[in-house]
Amino acid sequence: MRGIDNTISAITLNSVHLEGGPSTLSGNVVLAELNEVICSAEKIKIRHGNGYEHYEFIDAPVRLEAASLDDVSGPPKLRWVGRTKIAE
């Protein structure tokens, strides 16, 4: 099941740079290729194993128009801020 929030699809179609968190979710990743992603203007939540990894934008929330493939400053950067487990 793919759970990408369509309100910020410009970000989810491109790669982002993740810092911290699990080694399998670090570096440049394409959010559209992940199983379940929940996005807001300030945070991204990625389902990983039996929980969610939480990332926040490093500098400032990314404007949709700034998240284009032609952006010369590189992909948006997010820092890992924590993990929550899924209730069973």
The pTM assigned to this predicted structure is 0.73
Q: Where does 1-88 show beta strands of DSSP type E?
A: 15-19, 27-30, 37-39, 43-48, 51-57, 77-85
What is d(CA 51, CA 64) in angstroms, rounded to the nearest whole number? 27
Instruction: Give pLDDT tens digits along the chain (88 positions).
Output: 444 444 455 555 578 899 999 999 999 999 888 889 998 878 899 999 999 999 999 876 555 444 444 455 778 899 999 999 988 7
Instruction: Report pLDDT for 5.
Output: 47
